[in-house]
Amino acid sequence: MKSFFVDADIAQAKTLDTDFYNNQDCYEAAKEAIFAPTWQYVGDASMVEGDANAHPVVLLPDYLNEPLVLVKDGENTLRCMSNVCTHRGNLVVTEACKVRHLRCKYHGRQFSADGKFLSMPEFKEVCDFPTAADDLAVLPMMKWGKLVFASLTAAYTPQQLMGDMMERVAWYPMNELVYRPELSKDYDVAAHWALYCENYLEGFHIPFVHEGLNQVLDFGDYSTELYEYSNLQLGIGKDGEVCFDLPESSPDYGKQVAAYYFWVFPNMMFNFYPWGLSLNVVKPTGINSCKVSFVTYVLDESKRDVGAGSGLDAVELEDEAIVQQVQQGVRSRFYKHGRYSVNREQGTHHFHRLVAYFMNKYSGGGF
């Protein structure tokens, strides 16, 4: 597979080779190279509260398509496990339900709430049975507030990818956030998933694309901070705009912060506003398409329609329009690379470097 190179010096660097967006083999390889070893949002812990303690989910439908199940046992321990029976591959849980044990409806194999094999009819004559391979696989999982994240492998810890963000907003009352499904929405975008991420990762386009957002953010003070696997765009509000009431423990105390725009590799955006959190998850659905899920968590309803966190639907449609134009452009025979604004496109450069690293690592190379 083709290797990718993005110079560490942003002043010297060229953007990611367009083969990454246009080559089907690259699109397929990114499943294992980029998405399998990293962390993904699985859902909200409220899915296994009340009338249900088991809830099936599919990790990145139309791409990874991995069937998983969230299960809370009698001791309130939450686990994320494979939802595939270890006998013949049937889905174990097909709808949210209340269970004591998990039972496959195909041939009756049973598992405990922690995924351990319990019993199987008509298997007395089977040699060397059961073994650990007959248990359901339990995935690495993390709960932050009520947000649940999981990884298909243990290649990286959640702290490696999300720890810098969690430390920066350690003062934020994550446990008070309320998931609002009626305010959450999916957008189908006719563009490669990485193009959508690149657009998010720079505020350079705000004055040109987002007239409304530009009126509440001070573009002159807009800054990008890079971490190893994430970055932060700090949105400073203009005088009179709704901003955070930051505690003295915050490193941003004294600043008029209207929004924290965190991106976590490869495809999650955590947009913290005074009213709450808009979590955006970019889900590949094809080499020329993606689905962007806006997952809404509300902290203060009274602030939801003011400031940088208002009018998100309009901002999204503006982003979609420009990204879909870029999708057409990267397929041109006359375009292979661009250059970066040293002061405004550090986030996009950082993303391209990570993509190159993960893709090359998978194929046996490096940066």
The parts of the chain modelled with pLDDT lower than 70 are: 1, 203-222, 307-312, 365-367
Q: What is the pLDDT of residue 333?
A: 94
- Residue tagged 């203060």 (tokens): 300
Phi, psi values for residue 349, rounded to 5°: -60, -45
Report the percentage of the chain scoring pLDDT > 70: 92
SS3 306: coil
Cα three-residue angle 354-155-297, rounded to 5 degrees: 75
Residues 243-267: pLDDT tens digits?
Answer: 999 999 999 999 999 999 999 999 9
- Residue tagged 């046996």 (tokens): 364
CA distances in angstroms from 246 to 20, 158, 172, 273, 274, listed in the order given: 41, 25, 9, 12, 10
What CATH number does domain 39-151 carry, 3.40.50.720, 2.102.10.10, 3.10.180.10, 3.60.70.12?
2.102.10.10
Residues 288-347: pLDDT tens digits?
Answer: 999 999 999 999 999 888 765 556 677 777 888 889 999 999 999 999 999 998 988 999
Cα–Cα distance measured from residue 330 to residue 336, given in angstroms and rounded to the nearest whole number: 7
| Cα distance from N-terminal residue to C-terminal residue, the chain | 14
Instruction: Please list the alpha-helical segments (H only) found in the chain.
Output: 19-22, 24-30, 158-168, 193-200, 206-209, 211-216, 312-329, 346-362
Q: What is the pLDDT of residue 313?
A: 76
Cα–Cα distance measured from residue 235 to residue 62, given in angstroms and rounded to the nearest whole number: 33
Q: What is the pLDDT of residue 367?
A: 47
Closest CA to 259 of 240, 292, 280, 232: 232
Two structure tokens written together for 223: 């800054």
- Residue tagged 């893709």 (tokens): 359
Two structure tokens written together for 155: 């290649």
Closest CA to 199 of 257, 259, 261: 261
Q: What is the pLDDT of residue 154?
A: 85
CATH topology match: 19-37+162-362 vs 39-151: no
Q: What is the pLDDT of residue 211?
A: 52
Cα–Cα distance measured from residue 57 to residue 54, given in angstroms and rounded to the nearest whole number: 10
Q: What number does CATH give the domain 19-37+162-362?
A: 3.90.380.10
CA distances in angstroms from 182 to 85, 179, 332, listed in the order given: 33, 9, 40
Residues 78-93: pLDDT tens digits?
Answer: 999 999 999 999 999 9
DSSP code for 97: B
Residues 44/52, Cβ–Cβ less than 8 Å: no
What's the mean pLDDT when you consider all of the chain? 91
Q: Residues 6 or more apart from 256 whose CB is under 8 A from it?
A: 218, 236, 237, 238, 239, 241, 243
Q: pTM for this one?
A: 0.92
Domain ranges of the chain: 19-37+162-362, 39-151
